[in-house]
Structure 1
Amino acid sequence: MKQVVEEARALQEQIVADRRWLHQHPELGFDLTETCAYVRGRLEEMGYEVTVPCEGGLLTQIGDPAAGPCVMLRADMDALPVDEITGLPFASTNGNMHACGHDTHTAMLLGAAAVLKAHEAELKGCVKLLFQPDEEGCAPVDICGGDAVLAAGVLENPHVDAVTALHVQALEFGAGEIYTRPGTIFSSIDDIEVKIKGCGAHGSTPHQGIDPINIACHIYQGFQNLISREVDPTQTVVATFGKIESGRAANVIPEDARMLGTLRTQDADVRQGFKEHAARMVHGIAEAFGGEAEVAFLRGVPNTYNDPELTSELVGYADELFDEPVRELEAPFSGTDDLAILSQVAPTTYFILGTGTLPGHEGCGMHHPNVDFDESVFWKGTALLANSAIEFLERRAG
């Protein structure tokens, strides 16, 4: 529907205004009180009825489920615990920041809601709009936002036949360019927790104790050796430890140590195999030095998977809408997105909208305290989302 482009362009100023308000009021995890109030207010202004599927989440729908299938459009709303240094006039000052662009995702989905409202009578089915909390996994609980909305039943009543969403990307992704790929598009993630038990001693007599720091150092190296010797070299696996803690004094061998890290993979079998190798390795290293250790993989999120058939279909609609091809990514991202959880149970297509690099923000990518996104392309994300839903339903009419 070519007119969707012009309708989205006409909403550009409002999309930017929504984005800037959201950017200035970032909140974390499931605690999105101000964010939800703003988004709900905007939807209700358009005539939508809004429900709360889970804490920090919003759900609404448009169209008639009895008239055809149902497609879901999803945006994430949470921010990161990052101190912003952009200097933008609408910069956050509360110690949090939309450094991953979720403010833009929410604003573009609000724009799509407006476009869909204008075509309500023409919809050949139903469109659900999901505004999700805690994609970043910042909440101190065992589940993330994707788990919460799935458990809340957002894919049922009516049943969702397809899911689509988009994510902005800066730096090497050209402003206004759209990307995707069939199959895996984002890596899985597992938090790694290693607990090590040794035996305390005086620093001058290490032979009288069992040094958990020494064990931790060998385990750290062991994880990298697992990648180089236990993983098919054609596969991508990243194991990074961001926290190792033990002891309190320079001359005391402590009793224990703890390591926290992250595991990223792009294949489900590789992911499971690596976990099994890691458990054996952690136990074996600790035992070799007389200590004990266990590893746990926490709050796992699988690969975000683009259904090849659905992705080919939606790419075709986008090619026609914008008179330019959607670019195919050569490989999945090493990063993770918990849209993965919905993509395991419903056909899903995740698009990437490039925003390039703005002056003063060179070298600043996702999660950087100085990252910013080119607002001039936001209408394009709105058009992509709305048109994907309209065309998906239209193709199945009758």
Structure 2
Amino acid sequence: MPVVNRIADYAEEMTGWRRHLHQIPELSFDCPQTAAFIAARLRDFGVDEIHEGLAQTGIVAIIKGRGAGPTIGLRADFDALPIPEATGVAYASRHPGKMHACGHDGHTTMLLGAAKYLAETRNFAGRVALIFQPAEEDGGGAEVMVQEGVLDRFDVGEVYALHNAPGFESGGFYTTPGPLMAAVDQFHVHIKGVGGHGATPHETRDPVVAAVAIAQAFQTIVSRNHFALDDLVISVTQIHTGTTDNVIPETAYLNGTVRTFDPKVQQMVIERMRAIVAGQALAFDVAAELDYEKGYPPTVNDAEKTRFAVAVAEDVAGAAKVQGDAQREMGAEDFAFMLQKRPGAYLFIGQGDSAGLHQPDYDFNDEIAPVGASFFARLVERAQPLAAT
């Protein structure tokens, strides 16, 4: 079955919602304008309950079906990124230095479209919990909502989410059972030596050469301490030190990211980083400290729920446009915290040809919003069908 006809009728309205949200990007948990817009639309739709102020600006809305049954959760994130926009579109960000560079404005629009349809038709049993979440990009809003008891409070039995995918066929879907995205961690290395004149390095303890050695040695963890066919990424993304050409600085700083799927691999990386930092500090006669921060866990789809979600996606987009056994990715997603507590699935919906995520010229493809909304709506109707009369 293709896009739901009734949702197709909302296409122009959904484009308006999305472009309004695109103009008011907000960061992390501090999203009051976005939350107010979402709540206003939900009131217009006539949902049964609206619970605001979750994870500061998050919202859960409840829509009751026309019969007894469980509660299914549908989640959309709505925070933006601290990136100056360069799209040049008429509806570009009005908040300098902030933009929806990951399509969360589109994710929210797809869930709002499904909400309008489900509140109007109620062609399902039980309830649907619409979870609108801040702070996916920074702060782990999904973890906060779980810690606040959202899944328990609203008796959510299973949970699903979508993310747009630039470069994948417009309106198509892909996912995979089991691990889909990696855990994401951060590391920080602080080095302190003795600075001095660049012409007399023998009178210093140079933190620059120590920083370079540590950065290079970190790469050997992947190439020499890890089985090559397992997934592991270690990227040093920042080195900050020095102020001018003829001064050896006193301090240096390294920062980067680690992506893993296996907790044993994650622990190996931590142990090797500690040993490398300690060893290079000794070798270069400097002080060095590693600060390792564990972030989002791997995003792991429930196998049964993923097969079900793939079947729904095939109903909406056609089997030829759905990949149910896609390769897993090294990106990360805080929806992982919800999937740790409830069975469910995370899917990507094709954005078509566009700029990549987190780029200043990215813009969500409004044409796929009715497809995503139809997926959410059909998911509810198929997961919790009305009893035959």
TM-score after normalising by structure 2: 0.93
- Determine which of 133, 136, 140 is the counterpart of 1:144: 140
- The 1-side partners of 2:217 and 2:66 are apart by 53
C-alpha RMSD of the superposition: 2.1
Partner of residue 117, structure 1: 119
Structure 1 residues 62, 197: CA separation in 2 closer, same or farther (over 3 Å shift)?
A: same
Structure 1 residues 47, 392: CA separation in 2 closer, same or farther (over 3 Å shift)?
A: same
* Deviation readout 1:41-81 (Å, 9 max, x if unpaired): 11111123321212121111122799222211000001111
Q: Secondary structure at the match of 1:294?
A: strand
Q: Secondary structure at the match of 2:290?
A: strand
Equivalent positions of 1:19-98 (< 5 A) are 19-48=18-47, 49-51=49-51, 52-63=53-64, 67-93=68-94, 94-98=96-100
- The 2-side partners of 1:340 and 1:136 are apart by 13
Partner of residue 140, structure 1: none
Partner of residue 248, structure 1: 243
Shift of 1:219: 0.7
Partner of residue 170, structure 1: 166
- The 1-side partners of 2:307 and 2:2 are apart by 22
Q: Secondary structure at the match of 1:305?
A: strand
- Determine which of 371, 375, 378 is the counterpart of 1:380: 371
1:17 partner letter? G
- The 1-side partners of 2:172 and 2:248 are apart by 55
Retained in 1: the 8 A contact 2:195–2:247?
Answer: yes
Shift of 1:8: 1.7
Q: Secondary structure at the match of 1:382?
A: helix
Structure 1 residues 50, 208: CA separation in 2 closer, same or farther (over 3 Å shift)?
A: same
Shift of 1:241: 2.3
Structure 1 residues 47, 386: CA separation in 2 closer, same or farther (over 3 Å shift)?
A: same
Retained in 2: the 8 A contact 1:76–1:105?
Answer: yes
* Deviation readout 1:312-344 (Å, 9 max, x if unpaired): 122123323444252135321221111111112
- The 2-side partners of 1:3 and 1:182 are apart by 24
Retained in 2: the 8 A contact 1:144–1:299?
Answer: no
Retained in 2: the 8 A contact 1:188–1:336?
Answer: yes
Q: Secondary structure at the match of 1:232?
A: coil
Q: Secondary structure at the match of 1:372?
A: coil
Shifted more, 261-270 versus 124-133: the winner is 261-270
Is 1:286 the counterpart of 2:281? The answer is yes
1:193 partner letter? H
Structure 1 residues 396, 333: CA separation in 2 closer, same or farther (over 3 Å shift)?
A: farther
Shift of 1:29: 0.8
Partner of residue 334, structure 2: 338
1:116 partner letter? L
Structure 1 residues 23, 299: CA separation in 2 closer, same or farther (over 3 Å shift)?
A: farther
Shift of 1:284: 1.3
Shift of 1:18: 0.8
Partner of residue 4, structure 2: 5
- The 1-side partners of 2:14 and 2:131 are apart by 17
Shifted more, 248-257 versus 90-99: the winner is 248-257
Equivalent positions of 1:146-295 (< 5 A) are 146-171=142-167, 173-295=168-290
Identity %: 38
- The 1-side partners of 2:77 and 2:233 are apart by 25
Shift of 1:300: 0.7
- Determine which of 102, 105, 108 is the counterpart of 2:107: 105
* Deviation readout 1:146-191 (Å, 9 max, x if unpaired): 22111111111232211101000112x0111111111111121111
Retained in 2: the 8 A contact 1:68–1:396?
Answer: no
Shift of 1:292: 2.2
Shift of 1:107: 0.4
* Deviation readout 1:83-123 (Å, 9 max, x if unpaired): 11111111114221111000000000000111111233x43
- The 1-side partners of 2:56 and 2:343 are apart by 25
Retained in 2: the 8 A contact 1:74–1:131?
Answer: yes
Retained in 2: the 8 A contact 1:241–1:261?
Answer: yes
* Deviation readout 1:270-322 (Å, 9 max, x if unpaired): 22221221121121111221122222222511111111111012212332344
1:250 partner letter? D
Q: Secondary structure at the match of 1:386?
A: helix
- The 1-side partners of 2:189 and 2:149 are apart by 34
Unpaired runs of at least 5, structure 1: 138-142
Q: Secondary structure at the match of 1:344?
A: helix
Retained in 2: the 8 A contact 1:166–1:353?
Answer: yes
Structure 1 residues 312, 396: CA separation in 2 closer, same or farther (over 3 Å shift)?
A: farther
Partner of residue 17, structure 1: 16
Shifted more, 271-280 versus 18-27: the winner is 271-280
Q: Secondary structure at the match of 1:59?
A: strand
Unpaired runs of at least 5, structure 2: none
Partner of residue 129, structure 1: 130
1:244 partner letter? I
1:242 partner letter? T
Structure 1 residues 115, 290: CA separation in 2 closer, same or farther (over 3 Å shift)?
A: same
